[in-house]
Amino acid sequence: MINPGEGFFFQSPAAQTLTFVGEVPQGNLTNSIPSNYSFKSSIVPQSVGVVSVGFPGVADMQYIPWNAPGQSYASAYLYYDVGDPAVNGFYDENLVKVDPTPAVGEGFLIYNPGPTKQWGRTFSVN
């Protein structure tokens, strides 16, 4: 079973359309971001910038998206924490600040160099 907030790969020898069904989680939601590498996704099926919905970035954390057309990882976004909320955040290889925005149902690889962090969010469909 794959839980909301977990990322994963599905490999098939032929093109397929997969349909996932279930209840949309609501209320106070928490996604643990463990130390080291992990596959994650948003618990909520919504395409929105992860930082704008409270992703707990820490210095030297890496957000590594999958490039589906190229079938490889894209360049990582590195999190800088200089103690200034206006500057702190993920930056691309050109040092442009970005808010990574996975598509609905899209996972990503995250590298957390520190202890487990909690990605909390309150969500309601009402």
Instruction: Read off the pLDDT of residues 43-83 as tens digits, 9 standing for 90 and up.
Output: 998 999 999 999 999 999 999 999 988 889 999 999 999 99
Q: Which residue range forms the structural domain that includes residue 84?
A: 35-121
The answer to the question of residue 111 being in a domain is yes
Pair 56, 89: CB distance under 8 Å: no
Alpha carbon 94 to its chain centroid, in Å, reads 20
How far is the CA of 66 from the CAs of 8, 63, 126, in angstroms? 11, 10, 32
Task: Kindly state whether residue 42 falls inside one of the protein's structural domains.
Answer: yes
Amino acid at 22: G
Written as six digits, the tokens of 39 are 């596959």
Mean of the per-residue pLDDT values of the chain: 93
**pLDDT tier, 36 (very low <50, low <70, confident <90, very high otherwise):** very high
Read off the pTM.
0.89
**Inside any domain, residue 23:** no
Percent of the chain with pLDDT over 90: 74
For the stretch 95-113, pLDDT in tens is 999 999 999 989 999 999 9
Domain total of the chain: 1
Cβ–Cβ under 8 Å, residues 104 and 45: yes
Asked whether residue 78 is assigned to any structural domain, the reply reads: yes
Kind and range of the H or E run holding 115:
none
Backbone angles phi, psi at 51, to 5 degrees: -65, -40
pLDDT value of residue 19: 85
